[in-house]
Amino acid sequence: MFFPGGFQPHPGPPLIMKGRGRIGMPEVKNPREIKKRIRSVGDTEQLTKAMKMVASVRFKRAFQMVSAGRPYSKSIRDMVADISGGIGDSYENPFFEAGKGARKELLLVVGSDKGLCGSYNSNVLRAAQKYLAAKGRENVDIIAVGKKIKDYLVRANWNVVDSFLNIFQEFNYESAVQVAERLTYAFTSGEYREVSLMFSEFKNAAQAVIRTEQLFPLSLKGGERRSPDYIYEPKLEKIMEVLLPKYIKVSVYEMLVEANASEQGLRMTSMEQANRNARDMIRDLTLVYNKARQGSITRELADLVGGAAAVS
d(CA 193, CA 251): 19
Helices (H), the chain: 31-87, 94-97, 120-135, 147-155, 173-188, 236-311
| Domain membership flag for residue 215 | yes
The whole domain housing 228 covers 76-267
Q: Which contacts (CB < 8 Å, 24+ apart) does range 173-177 have?
A: 173/249, 173/253, 175/256, 176/249, 176/252, 176/253, 176/256, 176/257, 177/249, 177/252, 177/253
The answer to whether position 232 is within a domain reads: yes
CA distance 112 to 10: 28
For residue 46, being part of any structural domain is answered with no
Query: What pLDDT, on a 0 to 100 scale, did the predictor assign at position 97?
Result: 76
pLDDT value of residue 51: 87
Domain of 165, CATH number, reads 3.40.1380.10
Please say whether the beta carbons of 40 and 282 come within 8 A. no
The answer to whether position 297 is within a domain reads no
SS3 assignment, position 111:
coil
User: Is residue 59 within 8 Å of 202, Cβ to Cβ?
Assistant: no
How far, CA to CA in Å, does 295 sit from each of 30, 195, 298?
A: 10, 69, 5
Q: What's the confidence (pLDDT) of residue 246?
A: 92
**Number of domains the chain contains:** 1
Longest alpha-carbon distance in the chain: 115
**pLDDT (tens digit, 0 to 9) for every residue of the chain, 312 residues total?**
444 444 344 444 333 333 334 444 455 557 788 888 888 888 888 888 888 888 889 899 989 989 888 888 888 888 887 777 767 666 677 888 766 778 899 999 999 998 888 889 999 999 999 998 898 888 999 999 999 999 999 998 899 999 999 999 888 899 999 999 999 999 988 889 999 999 999 988 888 889 999 999 887 644 444 544 667 677 777 888 888 999 999 999 999 999 999 999 999 988 988 888 888 888 888 888 888 777 777 776 776 777 666 776
pLDDT at 230: 65
**Residue 8's closest CA among 41, 31, 35?**
41
**Alpha carbon distance, N-terminus to C-terminus of the chain:** 53
- C-alpha 110/C-alpha 112 separation (Å) is 7
Please tell me the predicted confidence (pLDDT) of residue 35: 85
Residue 279 in domain: no
